[in-house]
Amino acid sequence: MDWLIPYYDWIKSLHVIAVIAWMAGLFYLPRLFVYHAERAKTGSELDQTFQIMEQKLLRLIMNPSMITAWVCGILLIGMGGLDFGAVWGWAKLLAVIAMTVAHMWMAARRKDFAAGRNTRSGRTYRIANEAPTILMVIAVVAIIVKPF
């Protein structure tokens, strides 16, 4: 990985950009689900509009940014960017894994809406909208403050 050291700042910059885009999607997709669940009847024009919005957000923004964040993050780890000898390194990694699980859960819910079989309420999606915020706080504090 030594050959990547001259590109460290570029990789880190791309990582931060990807994380910002990914987080924006993790915040916005469940909000779309709230309105979709509460306002759109299956098969309606509004239902179709929400499906297009959700699919494009997931496929064009969230998936590529999550993959880019992971690839750059792994490269940064390979260059010594995360200390697994300290609790903060593990906390950061676990928060990112949990964000990935939340992403996959949201992708599955998008498929439920697309198939006309959503069974969850707007309240469920409001709660799901809070999880990425908590995980982001854990990851940012772990990587910047390194409190433990």
Percent of the chain predicted with pLDDT > 70: 100
Please answer whether residues 30 and 106 qualify as being in contact, where contact means their C-beta atoms are separated by less than 8 angstroms: yes
Q: Which of 12, 26, 24, 145 is nearest to 91 (CA)?
A: 145
Q: Domains of the chain: which residue ranges?
A: 2-144
pLDDT band at 55 (very low <50, low <70, confident <90, very high): very high
Q: Given a cut of 80, is residue 68 above it in pLDDT?
A: yes
Token pair listed for 77: 């780890």
DSSP letter at 86?
Answer: S
Average pLDDT on 10-34 reads 98
Angle between helices 8-39 and 87-114 (to 10 degrees): 40
Token pair listed for 40: 């759109």
